[in-house]
Amino acid sequence: MLGLEKKDFQLLLVVAGLTLLAPFILNPFPESSAMAQFNAGYPDLMQRFVIFGIFAIGFNILFGLTGYLSFGHAAFLGVGSYGAIWMMKLVSLNVIPAIFMGIIVSGIFAVAVGFITLRRSGIYFSILTLAFAQMSYALAYSVLTPITGGETGLQIKSTDRPLLSNLEEGEIGRANLFGMDMRASFELNVGDWLFTFNAGYYIAAIAMLASFYLAIRIFRSPFGMMLRAIKSNQTRMSYTGLNPRPHTLAAFVISGMYAGLAGGLLVAMDTQVGPERMFWTASGEVVLMTILGGVGTLIGPVLGAGAIKYMENILSKINKDVLHQWFAFLPDGLEDFVITIIYPFIGKGWHLTLGIIFMLVVIYLPGGLVEGGQRIARALSRKKTSDEDGPKASTEPAE
């Protein structure tokens, strides 16, 4: 189906099912319960799950297949965002042209950056990409202020009159898909549960599924095999007469275009762009996402992106008041002691929890969350096999 092997098609169906049913899956607790704090099924966070999943999938095509570690990939996210916002400010408020502009601008920028940085490999390549990203951030923050808006960034204003819009005087335009507002939502109440279905989320989800499908095709293609050969032994590949550089440049550009797609979608969901999207910490975040989920795997980067964005938006919101509600059943002295122990790992200290989890994954699960899932599946499979073999062994007559 769709040119995929059975196993890959089944994986695509699983990802599609989880994505489409996310409003239900991410809201497991009733709104009135204390555990509702852990619900993540609201539009803004769901959009970030899939958008940064796209960003991580693209980064994995470069890092996971070729082994080239970029420390400046957020530059393409930012350039794509700026391209998309200018398309919306000047031409149309429809998100489709804006997203395509983000992809194109990022792709062109990736060609220029890749042509220079791919002259080196290893740590030298990583440092070069970091340098380009920081130069891009500095340009966006100060030098190119008329284009980027500087520190305050860019957003759609009441003075903007896109060429293909019919806004009234003083009206602030809104991102839309052929007239459908990206913020349009439908709420479903089922008992104490509240499920929100957002138009912007499902548009981003469709883009993520298309990106995931394309990534599968790349991984299984002869081009993907060439990239794995580059990662395995680039020198030996060169001795066979094959030039690895065009393939690495192609992977770099494709990865940059994925980042541009993510940047365009960020603008489509929230029409405001700032230079902070290009800062080095944003580049480091996508590295963490990919390693945490599983480098070189298909679904790993999506899982890693979801895990980090969940902690950033859910774990960081748990404060002492919430903890006091949870542990109110304990004696006062014990309650304060427990809260004192837990509090450094949540709220503003959520990075500490992320760091500990990342270290444990790197040490005990080098294959990321995907390897953890595979180990659990193998353990359950062995247990099931032993349970099935046990009765049979007991009923067989002795010889």
- Rounded to the nearest 10 degrees, the angle between the axes of helix 74-90 and helix 122-138 is 30
DSSP 31-74: TTSGGGGG---SHHHHHHHHHHHHHHHHHHHHHHHH----S-TH
Helix (H, G, I), strand (E, B) or coil at 255: helix
The residue ranges of the chain whose pLDDT is under 50 are 393-399
pLDDT at 392: 53
* Domain 6-279 CATH assignment equals 1.10.3470: yes
Confidence (pLDDT) at 21: 92
pLDDT tens for residues 286-327? 999 999 999 999 999 999 999 999 999 988 888 888 888 888
User: What letter does residue 153 receive in the DSSP assignment?
Assistant: -
Query: CA 197 to CA 181: how far, in whole Å?
Result: 13
**Which stretch of DSSP H or E encloses residue 309?**
helix 300-313
CA 209 – CA 77 distance, rounded (Å): 19
pLDDT of residue 393: 47
**What is the predicted pLDDT for the residue at 141?**
92
Strand stretches in the chain, DSSP E: 154-155, 176-177, 180-181, 185-190, 193-198, 272-273
Predicted local confidence at residue 394, as pLDDT: 46
Full DSSP string of 68-114: ---S-THHHHHHHHHHHHHHHHHT-SBHHHHHHHHHHHHHHHHHHHH
Cα–Cα–Cα angle for 304, 36, 329, nearest 5°? 115
